């Protein structure tokens, strides 16, 4: 027999509403109006799902949830809070809540959250030793302390429905992390749909996310489902989320709140069952402060953050990754490589690796393709790596080159940040023949960011 749901809510009118909806849907429910009563009933019932109002008369609901989870970690908590208390809801998610509902919410959303929570609570999980939780997950290599934390957090969050916000520099493996979260979740049999928000023009991004109907705009020659519909029953990974246009951010927020999508040109919305995982190589809070990312969307997405450390902070992981890549690439290219010389290992450990794991893999691939031996020596490393090593350890002062004057700050002092940004981008474009993709690589931003900024400046001029 299914255990009853436990409802902890102190407002009598809301108790009646919730009980009516739940019983009409076939659920048995036990109700408590205080934290003390809720804890007593929790310890007796050991329910699979608890509906918890965070504002209780005798105790903070968040503290009550922590005590309950300490007694029975497998229970799924759905916290209920007023719209103005979203920060508390986010705090609850980070403390172990499965889902949160913002008042007011509709009956369908209410029952949908309970259905998912019950399914998750009922799913049989294989018990693993704590040390196993720190083992590398598929796609990652390395046993540094920084990565053990990533492995643990990834496994923990995979079992919930919480939105995950992955941050880290370019090349640290954010999509690999998102894929791992999907693969370790109960959605593993569903689709994993990645979408790079920074690689799609802003006027086409809405169609890419939510789809469109034939004839809804010029060039729409057929119906297109969109990434959200394609991810139904699985995971939607939104990479470079901070590059998303502000207008589309509003629609994404509405989608997160309702689970309803409305394709471009359609007058009918439909429901999809999608988990959102997003990523950025920027500081999302800084983007909020600059007005380039909606604050309410930030709090709705930034529920469980996972930060991927740069390669320079991963100690001996550099050699583990390089060795694994050397063996894989050698097999693919039919080469005889077995290991790296001690000198190369030392150099690899000392390098900063601005391109992180992606850069390291490219270096190893370059060596394997262009050489064949048993041991990788320094002379086999690409030219740009030699140049980087020279910059790290200059043997003598480099002479000043004509036409390349030293960088001076005098001309920047007194200018606003936006003016400095304009000058830096303008100079970088000039040095690369006006190529936006090349300038974007140098400045470590997406090309769409430069296109957008240039378009803004041109509008100001006109």
pLDDT tens for residues 402-433? 444 444 455 566 667 777 788 888 888 888 77
Do residues 281 and 102 lie in contact, with contact meaning Cβ atoms separated by under 8 Å?
no
* Residue 148: exposure state from Cβ atoms within 10 A (0-12, 13-18, ≥19): middle
User: What is the mean predicted confidence (pLDDT) over 228-253?
Assistant: 92
DSSP 131: G
Distance CA 280, CA 302 (A): 11
Do residues 213 and 265 lie in contact, with contact meaning Cβ atoms separated by under 8 Å?
yes
SS3 173: coil
Q: Is the pLDDT of residue 271 over 50?
A: yes
**Domains annotated on the chain, with CATH:** 5-122 (3.40.50.2300), 144-307 (3.40.50.300), 311-392 (1.10.8.60), 417-461 (1.10.10)
SS3 224: strand
Residue with tokens 């990652």: 140
Q: Alpha helix locations (H) across 244-303?
A: 246-258, 284-289, 295-301
User: What is the mean predicted confidence (pLDDT) over 295-314?
Assistant: 91
pLDDT value for 29: 93
User: What is the mean predicted confidence (pLDDT) over 56-78?
Assistant: 88
Give the pairing of strands 29-32 and 49-53.
unpaired
State the pLDDT confidence band at 184, using cuts at 50, 70 and 90: very high
Tell me: the pLDDT tens digits for 437-456?
Answer: 777 777 877 766 777 777 77
Q: Is 155 left (phi over 0), alpha (psi -120 to 50) or beta?
A: alpha
Cα-Cα-Cα-Cα dihedral of 122, 127, 130, 132, to 10°?
Answer: -110
Tell me: the pLDDT tens digits for 386-403?
Answer: 766 666 654 444 444 444
pLDDT value for 84: 59
SS3 377: coil
State the pLDDT confidence band at 317, using cuts at 50, 70 and 90: very high
Taking the CB of residue 51, how many other CB atoms lie within 10 A of it? 23
Angle between helices 436-443 and 417-431 (to 10 degrees): 120
Mean pLDDT of the chain: 84
Give the pairing of strands 192-196 and 270-271.
unpaired
User: What is the mean predicted confidence (pLDDT) over 173-195?
Assistant: 94
Q: What percent of the chain has pLDDT over 70?
A: 88
pTM over the 0.75 mark: no
Least confident piece of the model among 75-84, 201-210, 358-367, 370-379: 75-84
Residue 133 CB-half CA count within 13 A:
13
Q: Is the pLDDT of residue 126 over 60?
A: no
Tell me: the pLDDT tens digits for 229-241?
Answer: 999 999 999 999 9
Q: Please calculate the CA angle 102-234-165 and round it to the nearest 5 degrees.
A: 55
pLDDT value for 129: 39
Give the pairing of strands 260-261 and 270-271.
antiparallel
User: What is the mean predicted confidence (pLDDT) over 219-234?
Assistant: 90
The gap from C-alpha 11 to its chain's centroid, in whole angstroms, comes to: 36
Q: Output helix, strand, coil percentages for the chain, rounded to the nearest 5.
A: 50, 15, 35
Candidate ranges 143-147, 313-317, 412-416, 432-436; pick with highest mean pLDDT: 143-147
State the pLDDT confidence band at 85, using cuts at 50, 70 and 90: low
Distance CA 152, CA 255 (A): 29
pLDDT value for 206: 87
Q: Please calculate the CA angle 242-243-244 and round it to the nearest 5 degrees.
A: 90
pLDDT value for 454: 78
Angle between helices 417-431 and 447-461 (to 10 degrees): 110
Least confident piece of the model among 24-28, 118-122, 242-246, 425-429: 118-122
H/E stretch holding 219: none
Query: Tokens for 443?
Result: 């400045």
State the pLDDT confidence band at 127, using cuts at 50, 70 and 90: very low
Do residues 182 and 324 lie in contact, with contact meaning Cβ atoms separated by under 8 Å?
no
Least confident piece of the model among 75-89, 219-233, 386-400: 386-400
């Amino acid at each position: 027999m299914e255990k009853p749901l436990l409802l902890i809510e102190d407002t009598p009118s809301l108790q009646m509403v919730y009980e009516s909806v739940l019983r009409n849907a076939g659920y048995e429910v036990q109700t408590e109006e205080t934290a003390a009563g809720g804890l007593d009933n929790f310890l007796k019932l050991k329910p699979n799902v608890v509906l918890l109002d965070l504002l209780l008369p005798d105790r903070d609901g968040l503290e009550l949830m922590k005590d309950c989870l300490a007694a029975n970690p497998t229970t799924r908590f759905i916290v209920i809070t007023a719209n103005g208390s979203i920060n508390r809801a986010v705090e609850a998610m980070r403390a172990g809540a499965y889902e949160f509902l913002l008042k007011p919410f509709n009956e369908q959303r209410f029952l949908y959250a309970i259905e998912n929570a019950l399914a998750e609570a009922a799913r049989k999980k294989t018990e693993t030793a704590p040390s196993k939780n720190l083992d590398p997950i598929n796609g990652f290599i390395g046993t540094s302390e920084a990565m053990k934390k990533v492995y643990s957090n990834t496994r923990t969050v995979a079992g919930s429905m919480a939105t995950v916000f992955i941050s880290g520099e370019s090349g640290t493996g954010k999509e690999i992390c998102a894929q791992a979260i999907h693969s370790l979740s109960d959605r593993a049999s569903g689709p994993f749909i990645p979408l790079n928000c920074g690689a799609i023009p802003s006027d086409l991004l809405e169609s890419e996310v939510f789809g469109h109907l034939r004839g809804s705009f010029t060039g729409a020659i057929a119906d297109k489902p969109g990434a959200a519909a394609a991810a139904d029953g699985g995971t939607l990974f939104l990479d470079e989320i901070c590059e998303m246009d502000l207008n589309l951010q509003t629609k994404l927020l509405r989608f997160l709140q309702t689970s309803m999508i409305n394709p471009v040109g359609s007058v009918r919305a439909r429901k999809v069952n999608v988990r959102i995982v997003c990523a950025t190589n920027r500081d999302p809070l800084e983007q909020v402060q600059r007005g380039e990312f909606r604050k309410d969307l930030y709090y709705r997405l930034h529920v469980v953050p996972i930060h991927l450390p740069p390669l320079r902070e991963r100690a001996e992981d550099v050699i583990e990754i390089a060795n694994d890549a050397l063996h894989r690439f050698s097999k693919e290219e039919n080469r005889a490589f077995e290991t790296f010389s001690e000198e190369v290992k030392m150099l690899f450990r000392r390098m900063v690796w601005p391109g992180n794991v992606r850069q390291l893999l490219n270096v190893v691939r370059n060596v394997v393709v262009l050489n064949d031996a048993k041991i990788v020596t320094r002379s086999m490393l690409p030219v740009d790596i030699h140049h980087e090593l020279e910059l790290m350890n200059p043997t003598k002062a480099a002479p000043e080159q004509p036409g390349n004057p030293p960088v001076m700050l005098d001309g920047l002092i007194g200018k606003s940040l936006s003016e400095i940004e304009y000058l830096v981008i303008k100079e970088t474009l000039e040095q690369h023949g006006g190529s936006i993709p090349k300038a974007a690589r140098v400045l470590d931003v997406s090309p769409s960011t430069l296109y957008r900024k240039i378009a803004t400046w041109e509008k100001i001029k006109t």
